[in-house]
Chains A and B, each alone.
Chain A
């Protein structure tokens, strides 16, 4: 009898800790011992109980928000981290607005049928603006999150997810979770940052949030002081961290890489430096969600991942050199566009791959987009700026592999006859200065080569590799 009772208690604990399904983020927060630290910055900290209290207060002050749709824009990361469970507990839908997409704000609010726009600053709600005249209360199902894709050209797409989908891959053992402290290196309004945030909450861990303006040395000092042992970042973030003399101060148990192609150099360097850490690189995108995780510390992924196993949550195939993915954890729909999905339900990731022996290796984007340390650059945009410069007759922009940022922007230009008397150095200086006026710093070409001609293919487009 005692055995059965113990068994039942263990089963209940197991279900509570690992099989928990929740409709609202605040339900996940309430599972955690309330005196545990939820988030901490250099100066402040909040317990899980602080979040529950904040949520109750906001709910009682704003009953008219129940079931409505809101968009949130935050001046800093910690304010959003603090208020996300609060808004999730009352609103039906939360659109996380990136700060760098202000020009599309109106389009986003309209296409996602947003009722309220909420501004956050310094840990407070600084402004709430009603943006729709007709407000409809939506049924209380699993909360919906809308994220903007990091657009390469045109209006960024809005991808919609249910909370259940977003936390599907998160570990949820709150007993184990007390042993993990996560450092945040991403914005929470981007997919990778939201994943780290939700992982930390799901397992009742502490999230350490550095100031956006913190240098790498300041970030390491804060993470080390707060005993951060789990960290997720882009390969470019990790390379920069390894260049900081103080990186040895971090005692890391779990290292995650994502957002760019993880090359063997950075994986090897991390496994040498943090030999006892679990190191994984994640294949994820705003569209596909978390696709798969590679744990063997090698670049690419094993060809065995391509084997057709209908019971898997994530299936992969290669068609015409592109990786296609079928995942139950992807976004449910685009609000303002169509997903490229085939008749079998596979989504085109737009990532070009090749098989080398037993490994599938990533080659870059089908669109030609260049990933400069996690920032996407469209060659056509840069070419258009270059070709506006009086000395440039024609330009071709392409990616060049780089050990610091993964890739950089390089270009070839055909110089107008009247400028051919100038030295290459003078041409370069003038063109780069011009580009800096019209492009983001990571979009400005680093290398420039003067050529006599640029080849055009049969369809009249510049030949790209």
Chain B
């Protein structure tokens, strides 16, 4: 899951014209300081839905907004089961 997210993360960076690319991202990386802006995260979630046919944020009973990369990955792992 982390690999797919990483790939789509880099794709979202490319789509928002950010030069930075990640080979790996630490779990404690703060999302808002990762180079993606709100539009970038919207793109990331849309690309992941296209790839995985999954939007965990639509399925959540209690809405959670992740603050770090680790939390973001954990949400996708939890809802892909």
CB contacts under 8 Å to A, within B29-72, are 30-33, 38-39, 41-43, 45-47, 50, 55, 57-58, 60, 62-68
Interface centre among B31, B38, B65, B66 (most CB of A within 10 A): B65
Known: A432-B15, A436-B17. A403 touches B57 (CB 8 A): yes
Known: A216-B32, A432-B15. A373 touches B57 (CB 8 A): no
- Whether B42 lies near A404 (C-beta < 8 A) is yes
- Whether B39 lies near A243 (C-beta < 8 A) is no
A442 contact set on B, CB distance < 8 A? 39
Asked whether B16 is an interface residue with its Cβ less than 8 Å from the other chain, the reply is yes
A51 vs B32: C-alpha distance when bound (angstroms):
37
Nearest chain A CB to B50 CB, angstrom units: 6
- Whether A404 lies near B45 (C-beta < 8 A) is yes
The interface size of chain B toward A, counting residues with CB under 8 Å, comes to 27
- Whether A403 lies near B39 (C-beta < 8 A) is no
A242 contact set on B, CB distance < 8 A? 65, 67
CB contacts under 8 Å to B, within A421-451, are 432, 436, 441-442, 444, 446-447
Known: A236-B38, A402-B42, A447-B46. A243 touches B55 (CB 8 A): no
- Whether B16 lies near A441 (C-beta < 8 A) is yes
Asked whether A405 is an interface residue with its Cβ less than 8 Å from the other chain, the reply is yes
- Whether B45 lies near A403 (C-beta < 8 A) is yes
- Whether B68 lies near A447 (C-beta < 8 A) is no
Nearest chain B CB to A311 CB, angstrom units: 37
B30 contact set on A, CB distance < 8 A? 244-245
Nearest chain A CB to B24 CB, angstrom units: 20
Chain B residue, CB-CB nearest to A373? B38
Q: Can you list, as one digit per residue, whether each of A124-157 has a CB less than 8 Å from chain B (1) or not (0)?
A: 0000000000000000000000000000000000
Among A26-34, A176-184, A266-274, A285-293, which stretch is in contact with chain B? Answer: A266-274
- Whether B15 lies near A240 (C-beta < 8 A) is no
- Whether A446 lies near B63 (C-beta < 8 A) is no
Q: Which interface class (under 10, 10 to 19, 20 to 34, 35 or more) fits A?
A: 20 to 34
- Whether A403 lies near B32 (C-beta < 8 A) is no
Known: A403-B55, A446-B15. A268 touches B63 (CB 8 A): yes
CB contacts under 8 Å to B, within A166-185, are none
- Whether A403 lies near B17 (C-beta < 8 A) is no
Residues of B contacting A: mostly = helix
Asked whether A400 is an interface residue with its Cβ less than 8 Å from the other chain, the reply is yes
Nearest chain A CB to B64 CB, angstrom units: 7
Q: Can you list, as one digit per residue, whether each of A259-280 has a CB less than 8 Å from chain B (1) or not (0)?
A: 0000011101100100000000
A373 vs B55: C-alpha distance when bound (angstroms):
18
Known: A243-B31, A432-B15, A441-B16. A404 touches B38 (CB 8 A): yes
A217 vs B39: C-alpha distance when bound (angstroms):
17
Q: Can you list, as one digit per residue, whether each of A227-243 has a CB less than 8 Å from chain B (1) or not (0)?
A: 00000000010011011
Nearest chain B CB to A405 CB, angstrom units: 4
Chain A residue, CB-CB nearest to B57? A403
A446 vs B44: C-alpha distance when bound (angstroms):
9
- Whether A265 lies near B38 (C-beta < 8 A) is no
A441 contact set on B, CB distance < 8 A? 16, 39
Known: A265-B60, A404-B38, A446-B15. A240 touches B43 (CB 8 A): no
Asked whether A347 is an interface residue with its Cβ less than 8 Å from the other chain, the reply is no
| 18 extra interface residue pairs, beta carbon distance < 8 Å, beyond A217-B33, A245-B67, A269-B62 | A240-B38, A242-B65, A242-B67, A243-B66, A244-B67, A264-B63, A265-B60, A268-B62, A272-B63, A373-B38, A402-B46, A403-B58, A404-B41, A404-B45, A408-B43, A446-B15, A446-B47, A447-B47
A-B contact pairs, 20 of them (CB 8 A): A242-B65, A243-B65, A244-B30, A245-B30, A245-B67, A265-B63, A266-B63, A268-B62, A269-B63, A269-B65, A272-B62, A272-B63, A373-B42, A402-B46, A403-B55, A405-B38, A408-B46, A432-B15, A441-B16, A441-B39
